[in-house]
Structure formats: C-alpha cells, structure tokens
Amino acid sequence: MISIIGAGPAGSYLAYLLARNGKEVALFEEHNTVGSPVQCTGIVTHSIEKFFRLKQEVIAKRLSKVIVVSKSNRIEANVDEIVMWRDLFDRLVAGMAQDEGAKLFLSHKFVGLNGNSIKVKDQKRNKVKEIKTDLIVGADGPYSAVAKAAGMDSGSRNYIGMQAKVRLKMDTSSFETYFGSDFPDFFGWCVPESEDTVRLGIGCFENAQEHFNRFLKSRTGKKEVLCWESGLIPVYNPKKAIQKNNIYLIGDAAAQTKATTGGGIIPSLKAAQTLCDCIANGKDYSKEFKRKSGRELLLHFRIRNTLNKFSDTDYDRLLSLMDQEKVRNILKKYDRDTPIPLVANLLLKEPRFLLFSKFAF
Ligand SMILES: Cc1cc2nc3c(=O)[nH]c(=O)nc-3n(C[C@H](O)[C@H](O)[C@H](O)COP(=O)(O)OP(=O)(O)OC[C@H]3O[C@@H](n4cnc5c(N)ncnc54)[C@H](O)[C@@H]3O)c2cc1C
C-alpha cells in the first residue's frame, strides 16, 4: 500500500496517477474538507490544461493581460492565464483520485513514523492509529510533518506570502504585479476574482504585515480586508533531499516551486507525474526529478537571485526593454512554465537583457 499525506494538488494528483496505474493508494488529509483553508492566489498559465481539462466551475476568471509596475514605469503585456477557485480545484483533483479507486481519509492527521508504519490521528475520534505501509509520500505542504519525522526538513527558505481578499473594482481581464523597493526580495500582486473582489498580496522574508498594509493602502485606499489567505511559499533548493529509503517528498513539502513567482501548482503536478513513473518503474526519483524539472526550477531560482539585487532604476530599465513588440511576441509564445526556451529567445531577440547578468555573480 502507498500512503500519501496531504490532499493538496501534489498529493491528490499523485494519488490519481498511481491509482490509475493499479496501485493501492490511501490519501490522508488533516482537514475535514479538501481545499480549505485557501492559502493561494490560484493563478496558473494555460499549461495546466496539458495535465487535465479544468471544469468550468473551477475557473474564476480568464486573464488576457498583465500590468507590470515598477517605481517609475508601467507596462502591459498579453497573457493567457487562469484564476482558479483553489478550494474547488483541490476538490476536483481529489475527486479524480477517488474515481480511480484511491481511498481518501479526511480529518486524518499524520503525526509520526514507526518503522514501516505511519501514525495518523483520527481527529474526529481523537485516536491515533498505526497503519502498515510500503511507501510513504509527504505531500503535506511547506510545514511538512513527514519531512520532519524523516529528518528531511532542512535546506529551504520560505517566503511569507501575505494575501487577503479585498473589496475592489478593477478590469477583470487583467492582473497587476508590482516590483521594486516597496516589495523587497519578491513582488506584490492584485488579481481579480469577481466583479468587485480581488486577491491582493505580497511576498517577502520579513516585516510582511508592514509591507502588506502599505500596499493595501496605496492600491485600494482602504484598510479593511474581507478574509486572509496567507501562507508560506518555499523557495526551491536544488540540494534539498526529496527521497530517503521508502519515503518521498513532493510539492511544497519538497520546495518544488518557481522561485520567480512562487507558483507551485504546475511544478507539483509535473513532479507527481515523475514520482508516479519512478514508483511504477523502479526509477530513482531524485535523479529523475532533477532531469525533468531541476534545470527549469534552477533557472527560476537564478533569475530570482538576480532580481533580488535590482535597484528601482534597474526594474524601470528592465520594464523598458520588455515594452517592445519583439519581446511581447516572445512572451506571448512561451510562458513561465517553459523558462528555458523563454529566456533563450528573449536573449536572442534582445541581447541588452544580458546587461543584467552582472547581478548573477
Ligand atoms: C499567498 C500564496 C499565494 C500563492 N499563489 C499561487 C499561485 O497563484 N499559483 C501557484 O501556482 N501557486 C501559488 N502558491 C503556491 C501554491 O499554493 C503551492 O505551491 C501549492 O499549494 C502546493 O501544493 P501541495 O499539494 O504541495 O501543498 P498544499 O496545497 O499545501 O497541500 C498540502 C495538504 O496537506 C495537508 N496536510 C498538511 N499537514 C498534514 C498532516 N500532518 N497530515 C495530513 N494532512 C496534512 C494540508 O491540509 C493540505 O491539504 C501560493 C502560495 C501562497 C502562500
């Protein structure tokens, strides 16, 4: 039996793939419903549809434009992105896993390991059970209890992703991103989810409340939020252990995110495909993950490290270079889920991007 801890996108999609492959799968989720609480903006590129078709009810908005704002510059570019209702998305994927025969145990919290058994607490009955299992997968997010129990929790930093739902009217076909010294080490975002509500957030390593309050006031003129949707965003670390004996980590538990944007949904679906292939065909997960996703995530990581050395003037210059027809055409053709051809083509068409490489060292 394969025990998967956590029914987020990583755990549920892996459960779906393994069950479809004829494996006996048990999926344990600590909450009494899948998908709550939401701690995510839910933006993905249209590449999500390479994995499976999204049901209409999962889609809050389709976005065709991004507005990128720096201290003294502002540009627009065409995009093809989807804003999802994250709770419905998580339920969709968990439902797919159950339809293939995976067993979902709600209100079951992983609390420890004991040899080849996992200890899970049935929260409704307040009882700890020991369950014998062949393989254990920690898909339990950035605070991964599985990683801690297996001694695999070292080696990655986390951004604080501070986000709230806020009352605001904006163009519902576009979203906004904000860069520069008011958003140290990451960026800010304002994403419509309905005609009068947006998801407004910032990521940073420290003083999150202060940065968020300033952004909220400057963008909306208000101080009130409707509800908080904050959480940790792990930064990809190529040296992080993702496998130890019969224990595997996936998704945020393995810090498999794009360091440029913090996006982890598509990388976790891709990692689930890799891990399913490794389990089904006896391949080495650490090596296969590096081969299939490692180079892309490393490129995101290097771009993030470069951006984090930018001054406000550097961001203004970067936006000016991006505001050209030839660059916009490339951004339309390649999205951030295919970063290697994206960066290669950007450098070919606009070699002045190389001027920023001085920050890479
Ligand atoms: C503010 C914010 C905004 C974001 N915006 C985006 C975005 O727009 N696009 C994008 O692609 N990514 C975004 N992300 C990142 C994205 O949310 C994660 O990368 C993604 O959710 C990872 O999926 P996962 O399945 O690995 O982990 P999670 O979604 O965290 O799922 C883990 C699951 O495990 C369960 N669990 C935890 N501990 C236990 C336990 N001990 N026992 C049993 N179950 C347990 C949890 O309840 C949860 O259901 C954002 C993150 C934050 C914080």
More confident residue, 329 or 24: 24
Work out the pLDDT band at 358, boundaries 50, 70, 90: low
Work out the pLDDT band at 316, boundaries 50, 70, 90: very high
**10 CA distance to ligand 1 middle (Å):** 8
Residue nearest to atom 4 of ligand 1 (CA): 40
Residues 174 and 314 in one domain: no
- Of 186, 216, 233, the residue at which a domain comes to its end is 233
Residues 9 and 104 in one domain: yes
Residue nearest to atom 13 of ligand 1 (CA): 263
Give the span between the Cα atoms of 352 and 161, in whole angstroms: 32
Residues 174 and 298 in one domain: no
Residues 120 and 143 in one domain: yes
pLDDT (0 to 100) of residue 174: 97
Residue where the block lists tokens 């904006």: 170
**292 CA distance to ligand 1 middle (Å):** 21
Give the span between the Cα atoms of 335 and 108, in whole angstroms: 38
Mutating to test ligand 1, I would choose from 233, 240, 242, 261 the residue with most ligand atoms within 8 A of its C-beta, which is 233
**35 CA distance to ligand 1 middle (Å):** 9
Give the span between the Cα atoms of 74 and 302, in whole angstroms: 24
Residue nearest to atom 29 of ligand 1 (CA): 8
Mutating to test ligand 1, I would choose from 3, 4, 27, 30 the residue with most ligand atoms within 8 A of its C-beta, which is 30
Closest CA to 156 of 197, 220, 93, 205: 205
Residues 213 and 183 in one domain: yes
Residues 166 and 222 in one domain: yes
Which token pair is 237? 């670390």
Residues 316 and 293 in one domain: no
Q: Calculate mean pLDDT across residues 205-215.
A: 97
Closest CA to 110 of 219, 211, 27, 16: 27
Atom of ligand 1 nearest to the CA of 109: 42
Residues 276 and 355 in one domain: no
Domains in the chain: how many in total? Answer: 3
More confident residue, 357 or 360: 357
**351 CA distance to ligand 1 middle (Å):** 37
**161 CA distance to ligand 1 middle (Å):** 11
Average pLDDT, the chain: 94
Residues 217 and 350 in one domain: no
- Of 174, 209, 233, the residue at which a domain comes to its end is 233
Give the span between the Cα atoms of 178 and 166, in whole angstroms: 17
Work out the pLDDT band at 235, boundaries 50, 70, 90: very high
Q: Calculate mean pLDDT across residues 290-308.
A: 93
pLDDT at 156 over 90: no
Instruction: State which H helix or E strand residue 234 sits in.
Output: strand 231-234
- Assign 6 to helix, strand or coil: coil
Residues 136 and 78 in one domain: no
- Distance of CA 147 to CAs 159, 165, 237, Å? 18, 31, 15
Residues 71 and 101 in one domain: no
Residues with CB under 6 A from ligand 1: 5-11, 28-31, 39-44, 109-110, 139-141, 145, 161, 163, 201, 230-231, 233, 251-253, 257, 262-265, 268
Atom of ligand 1 nearest to the CA of 145: 41
pLDDT (0 to 100) of residue 359: 66
**81 CA distance to ligand 1 middle (Å):** 19
pLDDT (0 to 100) of residue 310: 92
**270 CA distance to ligand 1 middle (Å):** 15
**347 CA distance to ligand 1 middle (Å):** 33
Which token pair is 318? 């970067």
pLDDT (0 to 100) of residue 222: 83
Residue nearest to atom 26 of ligand 1 (CA): 251
pLDDT (0 to 100) of residue 361: 57
Work out the pLDDT band at 343, boundaries 50, 70, 90: confident
| CATH code, 53 | 3.30.9.10
- Of 287, 304, 321, the residue at which a domain comes to its end is 304
In which domain, by residue range, is 176 found? 43-85+160-233
**324 CA distance to ligand 1 middle (Å):** 36
Residues 113 and 254 in one domain: yes
| CATH code, 106 | 3.50.50.60
Q: Calculate mean pLDDT across residues 215-221.
A: 96
Radius of gyration from C-alpha coordinates of the chain: 21
Q: Calculate mean pLDDT across residues 248-269.
A: 96
pLDDT at 99 over 90: yes
What sign for the dihedral angle of Cα 202, 219, 65, 320?
A: negative
Atom of ligand 1 nearest to the CA of 159: 53
Which token pair is 288? 């296969």
